Amino acid sequence: MSLHRPNALDLRGRPDLTGTLPWELVGETRVSGLVLPRPRREFHDPERRPREHGRLNRRRSAVIRHSARRSWLVAVILTFGLMLPGSAAAQAVSFVGRRDFPVGSCPQAVAIGDFNADGVPDLVLPSCSSDAVTVLLGYGDGTFREAGSFPAGREPSSVAVGDFNRDGVPDLAVPSSGSDSVAVLLGNGDATFRPAVSFAAGGAPHAVAVADLDGDGLLDLAVANYGSGDVSVLLGNGDGTFRPARTFAVGTNPISIVVGDFNGDERRWL
């Protein structure tokens, strides 16, 4: 299960929700673990925070953001953080209809980007059964068409979008759980991608976040490694390549990761 922040997929200015989750959402819990940055972009060991209790489904994790007139309503759903249908929070959330688009078997996550430079948001989804990512091009009315699939390493588990070589074209970072690496696919700007190049991560990487973690203006990767219980940080070179990973322990079986400034100190937290 994975969700992606809304990005006005129907171009009406109303954010829509994309994901592979079958239940009505949601609610809010507290963060269960934070990795704090030191000066020079080092990171402390995780700071443990209590979780709120309630009717939670013990499944996976996600971050849901809803935008209304430029203000952000953030529901952070981490370990054991899905509200069951019927809760008060779930009753306050509604969506207009549902449309399904075939993407193959075992889709693991979804991310949004404009992959053919037409100004319309598109979707990309990794499939663990085909070892590839599938691109769906948007029409701008909430409907999509398949543009093709691209090999992305063994058992891709999630996907993130960023411009890793600074050419103005969105690229992809895809954790490959079956090869303990993260695959980077540089975009061509026409909804196609160059062959994947893999960079070593930790054991069974499950999720990836994109941000400038060392303040040099270049995008870096933070990869949550389910098998080894740590996070790999790969600093970007600005040309689509990354330096060898540095590893930070975070606890057992991390399955999601998000980057943000959680205490207002203008540093990146994981």
**What pLDDT sits at residue 100?**
86
Which residue intervals of 7-50 are DSSP H helices?
Answer: none
β 111-113/62-68 pair status = unpaired
Domains and CATH numbers, the chain: 3-249 (2.130.10)
Both tokens assigned to 245: 């990973």
Q: Could you report the per-residue pLDDT of 158-198, keeping only the tens digit for each? A: 999 999 999 999 999 999 999 999 999 999 999 999 999 99
Both tokens assigned to 21: 């989750």
Band (pLDDT 50/70/90 cuts) for residue 102 is: confident
| The dihedral formed by the CA atoms of 224, 153, 21 and 5, expressed in degrees to the nearest 10 | 60
Running DSSP on this structure, what letter comes out for residue 260?
A: B
Of the two residues 157 and 79, the one the predictor is more confident about is 157
